[in-house]
């Protein structure tokens, strides 16, 4: 157990690192952050900052030396950097778990080994493998980069055979390969946040429901709609994954649901965008739960604090610096609405700049309040 007064190192200086730093400091921990140059919102809450590339193993060793435990706000930490930290301090998520979740083919092989349903798919490294996979999976399918895809990036949709020539041209462009997946018909996407301590204590947040626009999460609502049997199965899957992977910390398990059937889409071994609504909407936030888990503190059973909770992302629309948010005077007239800005100095199209959370009598009411507030908020100089 790492008691308050100890030091927590965070790989990454983005908004997730910033939101992790809040409960860490409230609990009395020192916060050390390693962040590349550029916008790094977490630095405003860090006690000590190291500005260096994630490829800089010396900087990673420095972070480990000044911390009692190290965590990451992103899963795409270079393997050599993760090992440099883990040789000196406990790293959560572990090097092994990062290796599984950094590669879509490795992740699906891991889930298949547990008997957990996923979208049908095949690894693709050559044009010949692409043609073999499409003959098995048919159309429509999606060609997804095996590594590094985020917010809908690194994907190419093969709607009809006419798209195959473009897919053939794409395949040689990525040395680490692709995965071709048959498209699933599903009714809703759920997120399950699961946390596990080194002692084996496990807690789950009841499922959240997500809606995406253009590949980026738009709104999350809680509680999720749909089959209670599917919800129970999603929770069971999340617990199985947490225990089988040796998770220490918090993980998001994203699932596609059709009726009672649940298929896992992907894993994120970190705090997650869909869980931002837990800051105001749950008895304990995902960020505090993660800090508790990596430090060995008791895990609390999370409960919603209202009949419904919703979160809407605030995205940038232009490329400009010195960003200000306008419309707060109107949005914040609703006492159930909470606005979060991430402190990013540069706005870019589709960049996550903040979010709005609202509570309500039920999920629909909370969503209406959050979307109404988000609609009057705008970024400007």
CATH number for the domain including 219?
A: 3.30.470.20
Q: Once rounded to an integer, what is the mean pLDDT over residues 154-177? A: 92
Domain that holds residue 252: 188-380
> Residue 102 domain-assigned?
no
Partners of 355 in beta bridges: 313, 340
Domain containing 160 — which CATH number?
A: 3.30.1490.20
| 250 and 324 both lie in a single domain | yes
Peptide bond into 140 cis (omega under 30): yes
pLDDT of residue 151: 57
Domain containing 34 — which CATH number?
A: 3.40.50.20
| 235 and 357 both lie in a single domain | yes
| 203 and 350 both lie in a single domain | yes
| Res. 127: pLDDT tops 70 | yes
Q: Which helix (H) or strand (E) holds 183?
A: none
Task: Tell me how many domains the chain contains.
Answer: 3
State pLDDT tens for residues 233-263. Answer: 999 999 999 999 999 999 999 999 999 999 9
Determine the 3-state secondary structure of 100 from DSSP.
Answer: helix
- Of 245, 268, 244, 246, which Cα lies nearest the Cα of 255? 268
| 130 and 238 both lie in a single domain | no
> Residue 2 domain-assigned?
no
Q: What is the mean pLDDT of the chain?
A: 95
Domain termination site, one of 154, 182, 210: 182
Residue 321 φ then ψ, to 5°: -105, 175
pLDDT of residue 222: 97
Q: How far is CA 151 from CA 175, 212, 217, 226, 379, in A?
A: 21, 9, 8, 25, 21
| 46 and 69 both lie in a single domain | yes
State pLDDT tens for residues 139-159. Answer: 999 999 999 765 556 889 999
The Cα 136–Cα 238 span in angstroms is 29
| 195 and 236 both lie in a single domain | yes
């Amino acid at each position: 157990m790492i008691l308050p007064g100890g030091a927590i190192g965070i790989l990454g200086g983005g908004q997730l690192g910033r939101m992790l730093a809040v409960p860490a400091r409230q609990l009395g921990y020192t916060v050390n952050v390693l962040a590349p140059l550029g916008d790094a919102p977490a630095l405003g809450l860090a006690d000590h900052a190291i500005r260096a590339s994630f490829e800089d193993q010396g900087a990673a060793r420095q972070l480990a030396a000044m911390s009692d435990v190290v965590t990451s706000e992103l899963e795409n930490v270079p393997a050599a950097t993760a090992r440099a930290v883990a040789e000196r301090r406990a790293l959560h998520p572990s090097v092994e778990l990062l290796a599984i979740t950094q590669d879509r083919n490795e992740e699906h092989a891991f889930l298949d080994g547990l008997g957990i349903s996923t979208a049908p798919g095949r690894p693709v490294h050559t044009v010949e493998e692409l043609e073999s996979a499409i003959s098995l999976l048919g159309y429509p399918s999606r060609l997804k980069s095996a590594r590094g895809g985020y917010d809908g990036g690194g994907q190419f949709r093969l709607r009809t055979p006419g798209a195959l020539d473009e897919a053939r041209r794409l395949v040689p462009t990525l040395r680490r390969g692709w995965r071709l997946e048959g498209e699933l018909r599903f009714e809703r996407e759920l997120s399950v946040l699961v946390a596990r301590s080194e002692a084996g204590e496990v807690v789950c947040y009841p499922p959240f429901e997500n809606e995406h626009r253009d590949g980026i999460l738009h709104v999350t609502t809680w509680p999720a709609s749909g089959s209670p049997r599917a919800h129970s199965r999603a929770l069971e899957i999340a617990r199985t994954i947490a225990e089988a992977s040796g998770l220490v910390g918090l993980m998001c398990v994203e699932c596609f649901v059709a009726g009672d059937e649940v298929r896992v889409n992907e894993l994120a071994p970190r705090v997650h965008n869909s869980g931002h609504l837990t800051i105001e909407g749950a008895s304990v936030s995902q960020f505090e739960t993660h800090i508790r888990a990596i430090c060995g503190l008791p895990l609390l059973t999370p409960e919603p604090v209202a009949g419904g909770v919703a979160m809407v992302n605030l995205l940038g629309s232009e490329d400009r610096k010195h960003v200000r948010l306008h419309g707060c005077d109107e949005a914040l007239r609703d006492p159930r609405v909470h606005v979060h800005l991430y402190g990013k100095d540069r706005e870019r199209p589709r960049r996550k700049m903040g979010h709005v959370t609202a509570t309500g009598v039920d999920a629909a009411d909370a969503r209406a309040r959050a979307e109404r507030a988000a609609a009057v908020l705008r970024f400007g100089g």
